Amino acid sequence: MADQRAPHDLPDVSGLTIGILGGTGDQGKGLARRLAMAGHTVLIGSRDAARAAAAAESLGGDLPVSGADNAAVATRADVVIVAVPWDGHRATLESLRAELAGKIVVDCVNPLGFDKQGAYALPVEEGSAAQQAAAVLPDSRVVAAFHHVSAVLLLDPDVAEMDLDVLVLGDDREATDTVQALASRIPGMRGVYGGRLRNAHQIEALTANLISVNRRYKAHAGLRITDV
């Protein structure tokens, strides 16, 4: 892609505090690192505040990242990214319904199973993890994004720029614009609108295909959307 501009006018999100539930995993830590490098105050959340603090510490003392338990993070952050394992997804969100009310909640969870042939999409009663979040959190503004971002690249100090677009899905235009702007804060990354929440399943499931791509090509594959 020669042209890395944001695809349309997006709001200024530079002052937002970002919380990451399940931020002790590689995906959560990687997003925390890149968003903090972009200047955001980032709060890593975990069930265990001490583990969250250790994860924040592991990213180096120079970055504005700290750790706390999930409920404190959900309360203090402006935008909350959900990066918990799929099998704890519903229970974690149910336990934080009050704290997350009124907030933009960004679900990046991929419900996948693995067997000898690789990864495959798990069926989800609500259609997708993002739709499950929307069902569990009726008072939050649920957006789906950041599904295809390689944790390895996010955490690699030798990678200055990410080479991918983030598809951002949701039914609330102001919320999707905010998350697109947030994704676009990370060098090389663009947030591109990718449709309504009812079309989130295939975005989550596509991660299984990217895992196949990675195996075949020994790569950390990402997506670019052309002509946008």
Cα–Cα distance measured from residue 59 to residue 51, given in angstroms and rounded to the nearest whole number: 13
Q: What does the per-residue mask of binding to its own copies show for 174-193, with x meaning CB under 8 A?
A: ------------------xx
Instruction: Identify the residue among 58, 78, 120, 126 touching its own copies (CB under 8 A).
Output: 120
Residues paired with residue 20 on neighbouring β-strands, in sequence order: 44, 81
| Contact status: 6 vs its own copies (CB under 8 A) | no
**Cβ-based nearer residue to its own copies, 41 or 176:** 176
131 within 8 A of 169, measured Cβ to Cβ: no
| Contact status: 217 vs its own copies (CB under 8 A) | yes
Residues paired with residue 103 on neighbouring β-strands, in sequence order: none
- Choose the stretch contacting its own copies; rule: CB under 8 A; options: 26-34, 47-55, 97-105, 194-202: 194-202
Instruction: Identify the residue among 6, 8, 11, 50 touching its own copies (CB under 8 A).
Output: 8
Closest listed residue to residue 107, CA positions, set 126, 120, 93: 93
Count the residues in the chain. Answer: 228
| Contact status: 226 vs its own copies (CB under 8 A) | yes
**Helices 26-37 & 49-58 angle (0-180, nearest 10):** 60
* # residues contacting its own copies (CB under 8 A): 41
Report helix, strand or coil for 176: helix
Closest listed residue to residue 155, CA positions, set 23, 39, 19: 23
Residue type, 5: R
| Contact status: 117 vs its own copies (CB under 8 A) | yes
| Contact status: 4 vs its own copies (CB under 8 A) | no
Binding site for its own copies (CB under 8 A): 1, 7-8, 117-121, 163-164, 167, 169, 192-196, 198-199, 201-203, 205-206, 208-209, 211-213, 216-217, 219-228
